[in-house]
């Protein structure tokens, strides 16, 4: 397959590009990575791939109605894997409009480009095309502690501008399948963690703050529950869905690892105590509870039994083994972290000096 990955310089996107090129096997002929390089898109994540013949990076917007059709045609794209999105809930509360522009309008224009691209193909090439939309479990809303996990049939009930924008995009993808016959696939995943995670998110934020001796902020009382999915397991699931999933279907991808936020933070502190001991008190002494954010969902949990039954997927990493890998990665890539926190990567992207 010749694959267009959108948002490939972000957290999940860069891990997916690496997975496709290094682990997916002979089914991948070429990757085209389209990324606008907003604040969370970091070309350094994939800088070591720049000279590969089977990888091309293009800086651009999924909403560009001239660029995207040209890329689809020029590279004879068989599969679009759409990860381009504004994804941070706090940012969506502060400024919702960019989330609508990227996640809704951008997805619409990408779907339109894909629809016309397929119309110009014929025979096996036409039948081979797939449009894969990567979404979130947050479209389902929030669960009480004793409620069953989200399934693909759970009604949408988004509670933040971010979640609402992703729900809108999910509906558009569904509509393009049912109205135009576009061979779409949608996945809704739980919270990812792993390498190249932008430091504003909980796990990398806690790791880096702890190493710098800064407060470890936790919303409310830390009782909010999330299901955590190691990014490598997520990438493996995405490729399975892309190559073996049924067009028009939605597949939930979960980590089978529900934990409260305070438990996550304490686990990270323990791992850092073992690997990089702090003089005096342990890292837990840095924990600081802060005012809860508006509309904070209490619990997410994802039932991935459909994915398991149809495609045989289940996570290979427990939360404990995945967090060990993640903490070790950050400890080994502190220069990457410093470039992010100092904004050096954005200065380099814009052609300016630090």
Query: Is there a catalytic annotation at residue 120?
Result: no
Query: Is there a catalytic annotation at residue 212?
Result: no
Least confident of 22-31, 36-45, 279-288: 36-45
d(CA 338, CA 334) in angstroms, rounded, equals 6
- 168-200: pLDDT as tens digits: 999 999 999 999 999 999 999 999 999 999 887
In the block, residue with structure tokens 């404990």: 320
pLDDT value of residue 199: 83
Phi, psi of 246, rounded to the nearest 5 degrees: -90, 125
Tell me the pairing of strands 225-230 and 130-136.
unpaired
- Is the confidence at residue 234, as pLDDT, over 90? yes
* Catalytic site residue from 19, 162, 176, 330: 162
Q: What average pLDDT does this structure show over 232-240? A: 98
Phi, psi of 52, rounded to the nearest 5 degrees: -80, 140
pLDDT value of residue 293: 85
Give the pLDDT band (50/70/90) at residue 342: confident
pLDDT value of residue 353: 29
Give the pLDDT band (50/70/90) at residue 343: low
Those residues with Cβ within 8 angstroms of residue 179's Cβ, 6 or more apart along the chain or in another chain? none
Q: What average pLDDT does this structure show over 234-258? A: 98
Q: What average pLDDT does this structure show over 84-102? A: 87
Average pLDDT, the chain: 94
Give the pLDDT band (50/70/90) at residue 87: confident
d(CA 247, CA 59) in angstroms, rounded, equals 29
pLDDT value of residue 352: 30
Distances (CA, A) of 215 to 54, 131, 223, 334: 44, 43, 18, 19
Phi, psi of 224, rounded to the nearest 5 degrees: -65, 135
Q: At what angle do helices 319-332 and 261-275 cross, to 10 degrees?
A: 50
User: Regarding predicted confidence, which is higher, 89 or 137?
Assistant: 137
pLDDT value of residue 18: 97
Least confident of 43-47, 115-119, 259-263, 268-272: 43-47
* Catalytic site residue from 137, 170, 233, 297: 137
- Is the confidence at residue 230, as pLDDT, over 80? yes
Query: Is there a catalytic annotation at residue 137?
Result: yes
> What is the three-state SS of the chain?
CEEEEECCCCHHHHHHHHHHHHCCCCCCCEEEEEECCCCCCCHHHHHHHCCCCCEEEEECCCCCCCHHHHHHHHCCCCEEEECCCCCCHHHHHHCCHHHHHHHHHHHHHHHHHHHHHHHCCCHHHHHHCEEEEEEEHHHHCCCCCCCCCECCCCCCCCCCHHHHHHHHHHHHHHHHHHHHCCCEEEEEECEEECCCCCCCCHHHHHHHHHHCCCCEEEECCCCCEEEEEEHHHHHHHHHHHHHHCCCCCEEEECCCCEEEHHHHHHHHHHHHHHHCCCCCCCHHHHEEEECCCCCCCCECCECCHHHHHHHCCCCCCCHHHHHHHHHHHHHHCHHHHHHHHCCHHHHHHCCCCC
Domains along the sequence of the chain with CATH:
2-197+228-257+300-317 (3.40.50.720)
> 111: closest CA among 58, 44, 180?
180
pLDDT value of residue 164: 96
- Is the confidence at residue 345, as pLDDT, over 50? no
Give the pLDDT band (50/70/90) at residue 354: very low
- Is the confidence at residue 208, as pLDDT, over 90? yes
* pTM for the whole structure: 0.94
- 57-72: pLDDT as tens digits: 999 999 999 999 999 9
Tokens of 140: 């389902």
- Is the confidence at residue 243, as pLDDT, over 50? yes
* Catalytic site residue from 35, 78, 86, 138: 138
pLDDT > 90 fraction of the chain, expressed in percent and rounded: 86
């Amino acid at each position: 397959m010749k694959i267009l990955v959108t948002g490939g310089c972000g957290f999940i996107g860069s891990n997916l590009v690496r997975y496709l090129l290094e682990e997916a096997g002979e089914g991948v002929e070429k990757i085209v990575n389209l990324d606008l390089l907003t604040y969370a898109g970091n070309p350094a994540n994939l800088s070591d791939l720049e000279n590969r013949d089977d990888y091309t990076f293009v800086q651009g917007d999924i909403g560009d109605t001239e660029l995207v059709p040209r890329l689809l045609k020029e590279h004879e794209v068989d599969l679009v894997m759409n990860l381009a999105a504004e994804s941070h809930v706090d940012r969506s509360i502060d400024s919702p409009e960019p989330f609508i522009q990227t996640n809704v309008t951008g997805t619409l224009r990408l779907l339109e480009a894909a629809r016309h691209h397929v119309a110009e193909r014929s025979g096996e090439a036409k039948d081979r095309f797939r449009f894969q939309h990567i979404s979130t479990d947050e479209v389902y809303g929030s669960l009480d502690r004793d409620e069953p996990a989200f399934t693909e049939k759970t009604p949408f009930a988004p509670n933040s501008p971010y979640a609402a924008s992703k729900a809108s995009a999910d509906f558009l993808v569904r509509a393009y399948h049912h109205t135009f016959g576009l061979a779409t696939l949608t996945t809704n995943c739980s919270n990812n963690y792993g390498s190249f995670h932008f430091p504003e998110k909980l796990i990398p934020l806690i790791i880096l703050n702890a190493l710098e001796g800064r407060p470890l902020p936790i919303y409310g009382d830390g009782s909010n529950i999330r299901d955590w999915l190691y990014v490598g397991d997520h990438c493996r699931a995405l490729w399975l869905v892309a190559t073996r999933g049924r067009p028009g279907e939605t597949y939930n991808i979960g980590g089978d690892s529900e934990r409260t936020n305070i438990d996550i933070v304490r686990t990270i502190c323990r791992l850092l105590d073992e690997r990089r001991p702090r003089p005096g008190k342990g890292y837990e002494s840095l924990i600081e509870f802060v005012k809860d954010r508006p509309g904070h969902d209490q619990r997410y949990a994802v039932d991935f039994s459909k994915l398991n039954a149809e495609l045989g997927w289940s996570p290979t990493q427990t939360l404990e083994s995945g967090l060990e890998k993640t903490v070790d990665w950050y400890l080994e890539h502190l220069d990457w972290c410093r470039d992010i926190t100092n904004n050096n990567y954005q200065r380099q992207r814009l052609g300016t000096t630090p």
